Structure 1
């Protein structure tokens, strides 16, 4: 592994088409790693080579051959490729979406029999070697599964796939073994750094996939703790410890509290289900609000009114170490080029805003392709991050100002999408139109946040310890 590993601790959401308000499929995730580690947003254009290409990871030397044709796809790579790309999330030209990865942890007993592979595939490589080569979510699971079985994996992870019809969640549980489950159309799932898939139905290959020989591996090594003969992947391969109690389980609890408010559960429970039918249909804004949440309305909100102990008890969903957050939406009954929308919030989701980009775009603004470790007013990451940094010292006093801008932008984004949907068929050069419109919309959001930063600087001055209020009677 690299000398500066990219440890991730993300939170994910998956929403089936019959669980969403408009029939969209949605997958989303907060990419959480380092407090300041800029991301870019790019379009990787379709490429055709005369011979097969070879991928070699700069992170851990994992390598494999690649097909001659690479489909167009969006992605959010790191600001430097010194440790690898970490492309993380995107939608390709066939409206297949992928987000990788949700870091998870396998137990020592399983890893003793099938340890992680030092130069196996990891988060750094997954989007790069899978998303440009698949035409469906199901195909994505099969491709990644074959790579893991052949080359092994260096990490335990969860990987999200979607297309207009299906959503799949794949989990790696050891060096070479994995399972995947299709999320039922009328259900959603929230995931938080733990192996989450439960009972595998080996008689239902339409809704489950798994690594070859996984049952024999478990049975021969006596790894199954179940007494009823079921195959519970979480119980066999996962963990159940204090990290789950305070770091992972509460995030699942809050997500299920948002979408099933009438169900009462303990935030620390190990027994919350992996999937649920929502009490109400879920919108893309609801999915974004989940990724931007921090236990609002409970004693556990870090900026709420609870006790000091409660406010620091659980790890929130949106936190300072988020590099970017995304929701990948595939809308139904629309032409391919406008069906997919890559919603992207640079920096901390609670303080940033999810900007929509149609998957049919061919380029992004220069601000989204710039930015390194040093602050730059020409970097989208730093423009949105700056607002969060200015807000943090006086969150309660200034949060309404930020919230108002977020709400106004969300209304503008909705109007932007409606207008593009109406105008789409009238345009001759569709790719140029979508690129120009998406980038103009993104530029408006950048300008709003730059103006917001100026206002926060001015308003923050009154909170200075060196301030002095003169008695007007003097």
Structure 2
């Protein structure tokens, strides 16, 4: 009974943690514009504080043990054998350009082993410290869970290096059962793949170890559990271990679809699948209709379904100013019926995200770049962090603050300050954010070639000096990012305070409401808020305008006199006397203009 309660408690904690978090895309070297392998990752959770991790390279003596703490909770899990040598890791990329990201798909929760020592987060960062290639990382990860037990629920891992990218999907074997059920598929060169909290590997080749690896009992285990009863050749990993439901399609696969359709228009046809009208799944990987640059991949990670029927800038829930975000819960009830909000790639609860760049055509000291950002991908600035660096920029370093402790020294809080100020008046303010974001990222990309050429020259005589040069450059660019984003936050506060906007001379300008929102106001409250006139109001205004006009006329201020008479005419448009006065004033003003032109 105690074991059962422990398992149930652990499963509930997993369900509470996973709000369809995280999105990954994998771009093989043949699908990228510059021949790099690219992996993207958004670490999305309301309990995720964004900072840039660093694990320095080290050597250990035989018998050294490593304490394992769960990545999500910080809970101590146990000890494992430490490797004799570990590699330098910056964020989710190591000095050999191995990169790992993940998305959680949960799957069959009865397969969770709460007594496992290795959780998914520890698995990533241990593998990064020990692997020189993506293929080696897969072996390390699967060997670790076989020896120590896998703690977490179903997980999709993106694993890449300078030559290839893989998806590894893994799920446990249940209480007190070590090991995991897993399949790893290499994405063919020239293709792009993605996953977003739903298992994506369906059927896979059983006799192609160059391109597909899997646990020896992945099929037999499913058969024993009653998850599958067909021929081995028919086995579908996702169907067995993470069966589809509408949430998995709409909240998860829809994020993959929104990128796939942008890089290959043929993928638009899967809109019926995204609507939940059929279960015809998208392929694991597709060939894009053009090669993707790192900058384009960044833009893909900023999607809110714009241009589709899921467009989050539209509809009542987008609010007055077209905000492409929806406040949780993701599903909600009204009068006994359940409804849902869309879940886009770009989302407020992102702790950190990255777009990695691993290149086989230059030395590893220069080739690996982690373009790193914190908070919402749409409002972050991807700043270059070279994988060989050994000193993390101050504002991005671990321990500057936390989710419960604000600090102006923490990049996470500086970016959240800006984004959370922008959200309520999104369409009014986001242009300022995008303008600066594009300027900074454009600057970093424009400099990249020259910076790396100089680093390569230095590398010919000194590895240490080349690494230091790149490290200093990353720190400098991070400082520029933070300085500019702080200033942006201050400028937004000045420019948009109190519900108005200020022009370049700091003169206030009313913002008002868009016409579609005005229409909704009128439909609901029109009669209540319609402007009315009190008895005698028109006569009083008419007399005042007439009196003012006559006064300006006596002062020979013909323009202001005309304007006053025109306002009086608006109240009594049939008044011939006023019409005559206005006509005479028009004639006088015309003659004055002619005299001015002829004399000056």
Deviations 1:212-255 (A, max 9, x none): 22232233444226579412111111121121133112212211
- When you count helix as a share of all residues, which structure comes out higher? 2
Count of residue pairs the alignment pairs up: 450
Could you say what secondary structure the match of 1:171 adopts?
Answer: strand
Tell me what 2:135 maps to. Answer: 138
Could you say what secondary structure the match of 1:433 adopts?
Answer: helix
Q: Distance in 2 between matches of 1:409 and 1:293?
A: 20
Unaligned ranges ≥5, structure 2: 1-9, 174-179, 327-340, 502-507, 511-562, 565-600
Q: 1:222 to 1:353 in 2, by over 3 A?
A: same
Tell me what 1:436 maps to. Answer: 472
Tell me what 1:22 maps to. Answer: 34
Deviations 1:20-68 (A, max 9, x none): 111110111110011x742221432211122323233243514321212
Tell me what 2:89 maps to. Answer: 73
Contact 1:28 1:327 in 2 (8 A): yes
Query: Higher relative contact order by CA 8 Å / sep ≥ 6: 1 or 2?
Result: 1
Q: Distance in 1 between matches of 2:147 and 2:270?
A: 41
Deviations 1:382-402 (A, max 9, x none): 112211111111100011111
Tell me what 1:93 maps to. Answer: 95
Unaligned ranges ≥5, structure 1: 76-89
Note the 1:50-61 alignment, pairs <5 A.
50-51=61-62, 52-57=64-69, 58-59=74-75, 61=77
Q: Distance in 2 between matches of 1:142 and 1:3?
A: 29
Equivalent residue for 1:358, pick from 362, 371, 386: 386
Deviation at 1:193, TM superposition (A): 0.4
Q: Distance in 1 between matches of 2:261 and 2:229?
A: 30
* TM-score when normalising by structure 1: 0.88
Q: Distance in 1 between matches of 2:407 and 2:112?
A: 42
Deviation at 1:7, TM superposition (A): 3.9
Between 244-253 and 430-439, the greater mean CA deviation after superposition: 244-253
Could you say what secondary structure the match of 1:273 adopts?
Answer: coil
Between 388-397 and 225-234, the greater mean CA deviation after superposition: 225-234
Deviations 1:106-146 (A, max 9, x none): 236xx4xx543433421331223211111110000011011
Between 57-66 and 185-194, the greater mean CA deviation after superposition: 57-66
Q: Distance in 2 between matches of 1:198 and 1:274?
A: 8
Contact 1:174 1:237 in 2 (8 A): no
Contact 2:379 2:419 in 1 (8 A): yes
Contact 2:95 2:368 in 1 (8 A): no
Could you say what secondary structure the match of 1:104 adopts?
Answer: strand
Q: 1:447 to 1:115 in 2, by over 3 A?
A: closer
Note the 1:49-448 alignment, pairs <5 A.
49-51=60-62, 52-57=64-69, 58-59=74-75, 61-75=77-91, 90-99=92-101, 101-107=102-108, 111=110, 114-154=111-151, 155-175=153-173, 176-224=180-228, 229-263=233-267, 264-266=269-271, 267-268=274-275, 270=279, 271-302=281-312, 304-306=313-315, 308=317, 313-369=341-397, 370-372=400-402, 373-427=404-458, 428=462, 429-448=465-484
Could you say what secondary structure the match of 2:452 adopts?
Answer: helix
2:499 is the alignment partner of 1:454 = no
Q: Distance in 1 between matches of 2:224 and 2:243?
A: 21
Could you say what secondary structure the match of 1:61 adopts?
Answer: strand
Contact 1:32 1:323 in 2 (8 A): yes
Q: Distance in 1 between matches of 2:146 and 2:54?
A: 30
Q: Distance in 1 between matches of 2:401 and 2:422?
A: 21
Q: Distance in 2 between matches of 1:274 and 1:268?
A: 19
Tell me what 1:31 maps to. Answer: 43
* TM-score when normalising by structure 2: 0.70
Q: 1:348 to 1:355 in 2, by over 3 A?
A: same
Q: Distance in 2 between matches of 1:468 and 1:410?
A: 30
Tell me what 2:532 maps to. Answer: none
Q: Distance in 1 between matches of 2:357 and 2:488?
A: 28
Q: Distance in 2 between matches of 1:285 and 1:410?
A: 8
Contact 1:98 1:127 in 2 (8 A): yes
Contact 2:159 2:167 in 1 (8 A): yes
RMSD, aligned CA:
2.7
Q: Distance in 1 between matches of 2:426 and 2:371?
A: 25
Could you say what secondary structure the match of 2:145 adopts?
Answer: helix
Tell me what 2:57 maps to. Answer: 46
Contact 2:42 2:350 in 1 (8 A): yes
Q: Distance in 1 between matches of 2:231 and 2:218?
A: 18
